[in-house]
Amino acid sequence: MQRTTSRQTLAVLATAVTGSLVLAACGGAGGPSSGGGKISDGKVVIGLLNDQSGVYKDLSGPNSKVAIQMAIDDYKAKYGDKAVAKDIEIVAADHQNKPDVANTKAQEMYDRDKADIILDVPTSSAALAVATQAKAKKKLFIDIGAGTTALTGAQCNKYTFHWAYDTYMLASGTGAALVEGGGKNWSIVYPDYAFGQDMTKSFTAAVERAGGTVQQKIATPFPNENFATFITKAGSSKPDVIGIMAAGGDLVNFVKQYNQAGMADKAKLAVGLMFITDIHSLGVDQFKGTTFTDAWYWNFDAQNKAWADKFKAKTNTRPSFAHAGNYSAAFNYLEAVQAAGTDKSDDIVKQLEGKKINDMFLRNGEVRAADHNVIHDVYQVKVKSKDQVKEEWDYEEVVKTIPAADAYGPANPACKMG
C-alpha cells in the first residue's frame, strides 16, 4: 500500500529571539518544571492531518504545515540550548475529508510515526474519528479545523482539545446579529454530515433565542457542486434569511449559484463558517455586506499583521484563521513540553488544562479544564465592498469584538473526561 504520509525532519536551530513574533503565552515561559527532560524516542513528533487536496485545501491544507514550522522555529528561537524538545519532526497526511481515512491515518501517525500529537483535522466526522484514536492511544489531539461541539460534549476525552472555534460560537454571533437586524424567518441549507448537522442545531437554537424562526432545514450531499435545486427550495418559503452551513469549496459554489439565481435581492445571506480564502476565491463583490463570525483576522491589529506578513513571505498568501490556529496550538503545545520537561501525554494535559493564553491568535484565551474547549474573544465582521478594500486580502471590517464569555456556551455537562 502506498504511503501518503509525508515527513520532514527539522534540525535544531538556536537563533536569536525574533521579537514580537515569539508570542508570550502565559504560564510556559520558564524552563522545565518536571519530567526530567524525558522525550520519547528522542524527539517530538507533530502530526498534521487535514484536507490536502479537496474542498478544504485552501483554508488549511499544506500551508498549515508552514504555520506549524513557524511555531517550531519560534520555540527554538525562544529557548535555544535550553529547549527541552531538541529534535522536532512534522508528519503530514491527507484525510480526504473521510472519517475512515482519518481513522487509519491517525492510527498510522500514533503507531508507525510515533506522533506525540495530531493537529488540525477539519471535517467534523473525521475529527471525531481522530478523537477516538487519541483516547485509545492516550496521545494528544488538538483540533483546529472542525466545528462540532461533540468534541467538547458527549464525545470529549482527556487527550482531545478544541482550539479555534465551534458551531455554538459561530451561531451565537451571526444568528443573533441577523435576527436583531430584521431577519426573523430563516431557511437553512446544510451539508448532511456531522459538521452541517451540528451547525444547523446551533444556528436554530441561536435564531430562536433571538426571537426568530427556522422555517426549513434542507440537507445536501457532501461534498457537492450543484446547489440549484436546494437554493430554489430554500427560497420557496420566502424567508428573510437563507443560511448556508457549508464551508470551503462548497460554500464558494453555493454563493456563486445563489447570486446567479438572483437570490441576493430576495433574502439576506447568512454564512455559518467563512474563511478569508473563501472570499479571495470568489471575490468581495460576491460576498459584499455579508455578516459572519470570525475566530481571527490577519489585519485586525499590528500583532496579527506582523505574523501574517511572515506567513505571506513563506507562502505568497495571507493566512486563514485555521493557519493561525495551527501555529498557536503547536507553539502552546511546545511551551507545555518545555514546562513539563517531557512529551508524556498526561503531563502535557496537566500543563494545558486551565491555562490562560494571550498570543497572536488567542485573545483572553483559556483552556477550559472541564471540557477542553479553548475559549477566546472572537469577532463579528462584515465583508467590505470593493471600493473599501485597500490591499489584496483586506476583505473584512471588524464590527465588534465578542468577549469569550459571551461567544462560547458553558461547559457541556455531557462531557465526562473519565
pLDDT digits (tens, 9 = 90+) for 154-174: 999 999 999 999 999 999 999
Average pLDDT, the chain: 92
pLDDT value of residue 20? 39
Which sign, positive or negative, has the C-alpha torsion 274, 192, 244, 293? Answer: negative
pLDDT value of residue 418? 65
Over residues 401-408, mean pLDDT:
96
Q: Is residue 225 domain-resident? A: yes
**How many domains, in total, are found in the chain?**
2
pLDDT in tens, 307-333: 999 999 999 999 999 999 999 999 999
**Interatomic CA distance for residues 264 and 199, integer angstroms:** 22
pLDDT in tens, 49-77: 999 999 999 999 999 999 999 999 999 99
Q: Is residue 241 domain-resident? A: yes
User: Hey, what's the cell of 86?
Assistant: 531538541
DSSP structural state of residue 303: H
pTM exceeding 0.85: yes
**Interatomic CA distance for residues 308 and 323, integer angstroms:** 10
pLDDT in tens, 101-159: 999 999 999 999 999 999 999 999 999 999 999 999 999 999 999 999 999 999 999 99
Do residues 199 and 211 both lie within one domain?
yes
Q: Is the pLDDT of residue 12 over 80?
A: no
Cα torsion 357, 358, 364, 369 to 10°: value is: -10
Q: Is residue 212 domain-resident? A: yes
pLDDT value of residue 277? 96
Q: Is residue 401 domain-resident? A: no
Q: Is the pLDDT of residue 8 over 60?
A: no
Residue 409's nearest CA partner among 357, 368, 380 is: 368
User: Hey, what's the cell of 177?
Assistant: 446579529
User: Hey, what's the cell of 125?
Assistant: 466526522
Do residues 114 and 176 both lie within one domain?
no
Q: Which of 32-36, 173-177, 228-232, 357-361 has the lowest mean pLDDT?
A: 32-36
Do residues 117 and 176 both lie within one domain?
no
pLDDT value of residue 102? 98
**Interatomic CA distance for residues 86 and 168, integer angstroms:** 39
Q: Which domain holds residue 264?
A: 168-272
Do residues 105 and 27 both lie within one domain?
yes
CATH of residue 71: 3.40.50.2300
pLDDT band at 93 (very low <50, low <70, confident <90, very high): very high
Do residues 221 and 352 both lie within one domain?
no
Do residues 12 and 140 both lie within one domain?
yes
Q: Is the pLDDT of residue 28 over 70?
A: no
Q: Is the pLDDT of residue 6 over 90?
A: no
pLDDT band at 417 (very low <50, low <70, confident <90, very high): confident
Do residues 235 and 316 both lie within one domain?
no
User: Hey, what's the cell of 226?
Assistant: 450543484
Give me the residue label for grid cell 436546494.
Answer: 230
Do residues 161 and 172 both lie within one domain?
no
Do residues 312 and 357 both lie within one domain?
yes
SS3 183: coil
Do residues 225 and 239 both lie within one domain?
yes
pLDDT value of residue 37? 55
Reported residue count of the chain is 418
Q: Is residue 318 domain-resident? A: yes
Answer for the pair 176, 186: CB distance below 8 angstroms, yes or no: no
Q: Is residue 339 domain-resident? A: yes
Q: Is residue 176 domain-resident? A: yes
Percent of the chain with pLDDT over 70: 91
Residue 306's nearest CA partner among 25, 13, 70, 80 is: 70
Which sign, positive or negative, has the C-alpha torsion 158, 162, 167, 171? Answer: positive
Answer for the pair 46, 88: CB distance below 8 angstroms, yes or no: yes
SS3 content of the chain, % helix, strand, coil (to 5): 40, 20, 40
Over residues 275-287, mean pLDDT:
96
Half-sphere exposure of 238 (CA within 13 A, CB side): 0
Over residues 372-388, mean pLDDT:
97
pLDDT band at 275 (very low <50, low <70, confident <90, very high): very high
Do residues 65 and 12 both lie within one domain?
yes
**Interatomic CA distance for residues 102 and 109, integer angstroms:** 10
Q: Is residue 406 domain-resident? A: no
